[in-house]
Chains A and B, each alone.
Chain A
Amino acid sequence: MPILKNIAAIAKGMSITFMEMFQPTTVENYPDGPGPLRGAKFQERYRGVHVLQRDENGLEKCVACFLCAANCPANCIYIEAAENTAENRISGAERYAKVYNIDYNRCIFCGYCVEACPTDAITHGHGFEIATFNATNLIYRKEQLLAARPAHLGANPVFNSAEVAGGAPAEVAPGE
């Protein structure tokens, strides 16, 4: 009896639908959720706006080797290197990045830069709210990408990239 068979199949399908209907919802309540992420949740591996890491002494990990720029398929990383001196020590090695820009007009969040980095300096963070009305705001400077200095070393004012992109004054003190 093909008709009976078909009805049984539909009933089986609909039973799942009705069962799920009474389960609690798992949709993320972004942007109206609680906390700084306003309800957004991420997988650990999510590739968002980059973060340039610091080492345990608070020095920048990036040594301006240009490997991330060489590896970048979108060609969106721009670096200018300079030499560390005794008075002006920025990174742990001989050289540091005086300028480090990522152009988010072009970045495709592929993670190749992260893979190329020999010092684990460049990483993907979870920042994602980077939409803006002005394309030039999408070129992020080193100051916007840099991780905050660890608190025990005297946390430095950092740039909140999302807010700068939205037109906030460039320097925002931590916690604000």
Chain B
Amino acid sequence: MADAPKLVNITVDGKPVAAPAGTLLIEACKTVGIEVPSFCYYPNLSLQGACRMCLVRVEKMPKLQTACTTGITEGMVVVTDSDEIRQARKSMVEMLLGNHPLDCPVCDAGGECELQDMTFSYGAAESKFIELKQHRDEQQWSPVVYFDRPRCILCYRCVRVCGEGMDVWALGVDNRGAVSTIVPNKQDHLECEECGMCIDICPVGALTSGAYRYKTRPWEMKHVGTTCTHCADGCKTTLGVRRSDTGMEIVRGDNRDKSGINGDFLCIKGRYAFDFANNEDRLTQPLIRKGGRLVPATWEEAFEFVGRRFKEVLDREGGRAIGVIGSTRTTNEENYLLQKFARVALGTNNIDHHRTADFPAFAAALHGKSGATASMRDVYNASAILLIGNDPTEEHPLLAWQIRNNVRLHNARLYVVNSRPIKLRRQAASFTQVTSETDFTEFLGGDESLASFATREGWNAVRDKLRAEQGLVIIFGSEIFGEDIQALARFAASVPGAKLLCLGDYANSRGAADMGLYPDLLPGYFPVSGAGKFHQEWKITPAAPGMNIGQMFEATKTGQLKALYVIGANPVGRLNVNPSTLKNTFVVVQDMFLTETAALADVVLPAANAYEKAGTFTNTCGDIQILKKAGEVTTAKPDFEMIVRIADAIGFDVRKLVPFGHGVHADMGQSRGAQSGEADQHAVWLEANGLEPKMSPFDPVATLDEIQRLVPGYDVSRTELLAGNDQHTSIAAMGPGTVQNPELIVPAKNNLFSSGTLGRYSRTLNSVIENKDPEPADAVPTD
């Protein structure tokens, strides 16, 4: 690190301010709590100086100066508020309102509009203009982006965020001066990533979103900050919810307080693809197969039936005849509970999930090497990044944003090694194209005697440059697995301070792996044979590894597996299982929709999604974050509750699964989002009446306690977690992992507009896909 930058002393409104040289005046003012109004200035975007709202008086300068473009200099004396300045700002607002329609009552920005705020503060309510206002009809640029030209105040934030931040450059400016107008890249429509960043950043209601248009107003919603349920990057998204006849309906997703690891960013999925929750195809009642058809049943009936059938199999053949398949989108608590249910209540290790990355091998490679994993924040701050495989622009939009902006703002060096010319090569200092999987291995192995090294020009040069980097972050996708991860870890060990990051595909893929949804691994990558403290805690743990997902479906064919319990997964759709093989297996599925797997099941239980429950998610970097309950659908239950109910129906003592009742304390609902106030009041009432708050068996917090106690690396601060902050868990502190079965890793291959089963039921994502040009012009302009 360079020396701390020199501090410059200035005076703002009589207050002394010291800030590093090169700081902009507007930012320096913020450090002492003086907010200089601005429209066009936006932190971390290039300077525009277009709106002149930020005018301040700097001593010894003849005219008012724009604080957003003026750097501070020693001894500067600044006044940010005086009659002269207020008058100047008032005139600016008056100008902006000259042709502004002021249709706030029907404008989606109303209540959250910076122009409204400024008009209130500077009171330019009366206009000197008598000319007729020029009207232009609103234009729809894409399924999610609408543009209302007269409302635009030409701050160019949208143009800059789309170009500089997103590297999409889909928006531009036509004409000059007062007749300038913002235009999309395809004359009358947009061909872009549909991230909605431009809508978010627009200070007024000129750019509005198709998903939220005219639905409600900001003050009518409750705003719940939770974690995105799509890709594995773990953005914080704020869901606006409103009461509806089925509970709480999610009406909007956005990045309201920008306090998450994603900073300003959200991609289309985190912002608009919450709508799967409102899809009319959602299951609304339990279904039981009777006479070959799935017919509606009551919850009691369904649980009792599942319990009875599981019990029959258990009594006849024991746990090894039951298989359990977990989800990559259920919470850590649910995953932990599920594997505990399988191991303790069913007595089987037949448990697996859809693997999208080789986390056990990653754990094996980094066992005991603390500080060797990178968090999402590290990606933004690292001085150099090596990206091997994967296409983050499509599969990990936040990661791509972090990389791009690290390169743009901190001059980080990006090295890309890939078999495809991925878009991030535009930011790369070096791009190495490999042609095959073996190339990856050889590049990593670095055995310079290999023939490929002689033939591949530049390989050695890249490796030498990488070795010279300080603070390198190495990011790799599912192309690298098994032994290759070991090789990569060895390479990383040869670069001082290097950190690794392994990319899985779904929102809680990492959590599913960490929580032990493996036939041979317990939570924290401990082998099932050496159960140790888990055994002490749980009393029973089968020691022999169980069947993996592939073996389970083989075993259904031979009749070895009599029952299958699937939670939030669609293995039939993904593994192309022949429906007839499941004929003799009793299949129970918990899902939101009638997926290919659910359609074959004997019992289908409608499940709540991640936006409708409390818990925690671990993103692909290992950053753990809280989920708060935002939406609610009274016709579905969280998977947590259903697992407990089924355990109870089997006749298992659920107290051994989840501690509850007398003597067990928990947070009593701080994590329950929109409903939290009620739970807290309840706790206060109990306390006041000398009663002890007791936990329900369906509260996941006691399970989080157990995870934090038993899984090393998860012992993060509970306060930080409840406050909604991300914290990095350490895989190095966990168990030894294993290296095996790379063939079970099936990448999700989601792109920007798809998201597994959830994507299929999202109207916004589908409408965007339908609207794409059948033959898009090369998305990556040739550089």
Query: A residues engaging B (CB < 8 A)?
Result: 63-67, 69-70, 80-83, 93-95, 118-119
A63 touches B105 (CB 8 A): yes
A69 touches B220 (CB 8 A): yes
B213 touches A83 (CB 8 A): yes
| Residues of chain B contacted by A83 (CB below 8 angstroms) | 213-214
Q: Which 4 pairs across A and B sit closest by C-beta, in order of nearness?
A: A65-B105, A95-B214, A66-B217, A83-B214
| Residues of chain A contacted by B217 (CB below 8 angstroms) | 65-66, 70
| Residues of chain A contacted by B106 (CB below 8 angstroms) | 63-65, 93-95
Q: Which B residues, 213 to 248, have Cβ-Cβ distances below 8 Å to chain A?
A: 213-217, 219-220
> B interface, by DSSP: helix, strand, loop or mixed?
loop
Q: Which B residues, 179 to 221, have Cβ-Cβ distances below 8 Å to chain A?
A: 213-217, 219-220
Nearest CB in chain B to that of A94: its residue: B106
| Residues of chain B contacted by A82 (CB below 8 angstroms) | 214
Known A63-B106, A64-B106, A94-B106; further 20 A-B contacts with Cβ < 8 A = A63-B105, A64-B214, A65-B104, A65-B106, A65-B110, A66-B216, A66-B219, A69-B220, A70-B217, A70-B219, A81-B214, A81-B215, A81-B216, A83-B213, A83-B214, A94-B138, A94-B214, A118-B104, A118-B105, A119-B105
| Residues of chain A contacted by B105 (CB below 8 angstroms) | 63, 65, 67, 93, 118-119
Q: Interface residue tally of chain B, by bracket?
A: 10 to 19
Q: Does residue B743 face the partner (Cβ distance < 8 Å to A)?
A: no
Q: Does residue B103 face the partner (Cβ distance < 8 Å to A)?
A: yes
**A83–B104 alpha-carbon span in the complex (Å):** 15
**A169–B650 alpha-carbon span in the complex (Å):** 53
Number of A-B contacts defined by CB within 8 Å: 36
Nearest CB in chain B to that of A70: its residue: B219
| Residues of chain A contacted by B138 (CB below 8 angstroms) | 94
| Residues of chain A contacted by B216 (CB below 8 angstroms) | 66, 80-81
**A94–B107 alpha-carbon span in the complex (Å):** 9
| Residues of chain B contacted by A70 (CB below 8 angstroms) | 217, 219-220
Nearest CB in chain A to that of B148: its residue: A94
| Residues of chain B contacted by A80 (CB below 8 angstroms) | 216
Nearest CB in chain A to that of B103: its residue: A93
Nearest CB in chain B to that of A83: its residue: B214
Determine how close the nearest CB of chain B comes to the CB of A41; give it in whole angstroms. Answer: 35
**A160–B645 alpha-carbon span in the complex (Å):** 51
Determine how close the nearest CB of chain B comes to the CB of A80; give it in whole angstroms. Answer: 8
| Residues of chain B contacted by A94 (CB below 8 angstroms) | 106, 138, 214
Nearest CB in chain B to that of A78: its residue: B243
| Residues of chain B contacted by A118 (CB below 8 angstroms) | 104-105
12 A-B interface contacts by CB (under 8 A): A63-B105, A63-B106, A64-B106, A65-B105, A65-B217, A69-B220, A70-B217, A81-B214, A81-B215, A94-B138, A94-B214, A95-B106
| Residues of chain B contacted by A67 (CB below 8 angstroms) | 105
Nearest CB in chain A to that of B217: its residue: A66
Most B Cβ at <10 Å: residue of A81, A82, A119: A81
Query: B residues engaging A (CB < 8 A)?
Result: 103-106, 110, 138, 213-217, 219-220
| Residues of chain A contacted by B110 (CB below 8 angstroms) | 65
| Residues of chain B contacted by A63 (CB below 8 angstroms) | 105-106
| Residues of chain B contacted by A65 (CB below 8 angstroms) | 104-106, 110, 217
Determine how close the nearest CB of chain A comes to the CB of B108; give it in whole angstroms. Answer: 9
Determine how close the nearest CB of chain A comes to the CB of B119; give it in whole angstroms. Answer: 14
| Residues of chain B contacted by A81 (CB below 8 angstroms) | 214-216
Nearest CB in chain B to that of A84: its residue: B214
Determine how close the nearest CB of chain A comes to the CB of B270; give it in whole angstroms. Answer: 24
**A82–B216 alpha-carbon span in the complex (Å):** 9
Most B Cβ at <10 Å: residue of A63, A65, A70, A93: A65
| Residues of chain A contacted by B103 (CB below 8 angstroms) | 93
**A66–B110 alpha-carbon span in the complex (Å):** 10
**A133–B106 alpha-carbon span in the complex (Å):** 38
Most B Cβ at <10 Å: residue of A66, A69, A70, A80: A66
Nearest CB in chain B to that of A80: its residue: B216
**A95–B110 alpha-carbon span in the complex (Å):** 13
Nearest CB in chain B to that of A117: its residue: B105
Determine how close the nearest CB of chain A comes to the CB of B442; give it in whole angstroms. Answer: 58
**A80–B103 alpha-carbon span in the complex (Å):** 19
**A8–B110 alpha-carbon span in the complex (Å):** 69
Determine how close the nearest CB of chain A comes to the CB of B3; give it in whole angstroms. Answer: 53
Determine how close the nearest CB of chain A comes to the CB of B245; give it in whole angstroms. Answer: 11
Nearest CB in chain A to that of B110: its residue: A65
Determine how close the nearest CB of chain A comes to the CB of B240; give it in whole angstroms. Answer: 13
Determine how close the nearest CB of chain A comes to the CB of B208; give it in whole angstroms. Answer: 10
**A105–B219 alpha-carbon span in the complex (Å):** 23
**A109–B196 alpha-carbon span in the complex (Å):** 42
| Residues of chain A contacted by B215 (CB below 8 angstroms) | 81
**A69–B220 alpha-carbon span in the complex (Å):** 9
Determine how close the nearest CB of chain A comes to the CB of B136; give it in whole angstroms. Answer: 14
**A83–B217 alpha-carbon span in the complex (Å):** 14
Determine how close the nearest CB of chain B comes to the CB of A113; give it in whole angstroms. Answer: 14
Determine how close the nearest CB of chain A comes to the CB of B222; give it in whole angstroms. Answer: 14
Most A Cβ at <10 Å: residue of B216, B217, B219: B217
Nearest CB in chain B to that of A121: its residue: B105
**A66–B215 alpha-carbon span in the complex (Å):** 11
| Residues of chain B contacted by A119 (CB below 8 angstroms) | 105
**A65–B105 alpha-carbon span in the complex (Å):** 5
**A66–B216 alpha-carbon span in the complex (Å):** 8
**A75–B104 alpha-carbon span in the complex (Å):** 22
**A70–B219 alpha-carbon span in the complex (Å):** 8
Nearest CB in chain B to that of A65: its residue: B105
**A70–B104 alpha-carbon span in the complex (Å):** 14
**A69–B219 alpha-carbon span in the complex (Å):** 10
Determine how close the nearest CB of chain B comes to the CB of A173; give it in whole angstroms. Answer: 31
**A65–B220 alpha-carbon span in the complex (Å):** 11
Nearest CB in chain B to that of A119: its residue: B105
Nearest CB in chain B to that of A92: its residue: B106
**A63–B104 alpha-carbon span in the complex (Å):** 11
**A81–B105 alpha-carbon span in the complex (Å):** 12
| Residues of chain B contacted by A93 (CB below 8 angstroms) | 103, 105-106
Most A Cβ at <10 Å: residue of B103, B106, B219, B220: B106
A66 touches B220 (CB 8 A): yes
Most A Cβ at <10 Å: residue of B103, B105, B110, B213: B105
**A64–B216 alpha-carbon span in the complex (Å):** 8
Determine how close the nearest CB of chain A comes to the CB of B617; give it in whole angstroms. Answer: 32
Determine how close the nearest CB of chain B comes to the CB of A82; give it in whole angstroms. Answer: 7
| Residues of chain B contacted by A64 (CB below 8 angstroms) | 106, 214
**A80–B244 alpha-carbon span in the complex (Å):** 10
**A69–B111 alpha-carbon span in the complex (Å):** 13
**A29–B220 alpha-carbon span in the complex (Å):** 45
| Residues of chain A contacted by B219 (CB below 8 angstroms) | 66, 70
Determine how close the nearest CB of chain A comes to the CB of B82; give it in whole angstroms. Answer: 33
Determine how close the nearest CB of chain B comes to the CB of A31; give it in whole angstroms. Answer: 39
**A63–B216 alpha-carbon span in the complex (Å):** 11
**A119–B214 alpha-carbon span in the complex (Å):** 17
| Residues of chain A contacted by B220 (CB below 8 angstroms) | 66, 69-70
**A95–B138 alpha-carbon span in the complex (Å):** 13
**A93–B105 alpha-carbon span in the complex (Å):** 10
**A64–B214 alpha-carbon span in the complex (Å):** 9
Determine how close the nearest CB of chain A comes to the CB of B223; give it in whole angstroms. Answer: 15
**A81–B217 alpha-carbon span in the complex (Å):** 9
Determine how close the nearest CB of chain B comes to the CB of A100; give it in whole angstroms. Answer: 13
Determine how close the nearest CB of chain A comes to the CB of B760; give it in whole angstroms. Answer: 26
**A57–B17 alpha-carbon span in the complex (Å):** 61
**A81–B213 alpha-carbon span in the complex (Å):** 10
| Residues of chain A contacted by B213 (CB below 8 angstroms) | 83
Nearest CB in chain A to that of B243: its residue: A78
**A69–B106 alpha-carbon span in the complex (Å):** 15
**A140–B721 alpha-carbon span in the complex (Å):** 45
Determine how close the nearest CB of chain B comes to the CB of A6; give it in whole angstroms. Answer: 62
Determine how close the nearest CB of chain A comes to the CB of B540; give it in whole angstroms. Answer: 53
Determine how close the nearest CB of chain A comes to the CB of B494; give it in whole angstroms. Answer: 61
Nearest CB in chain B to that of A62: its residue: B105
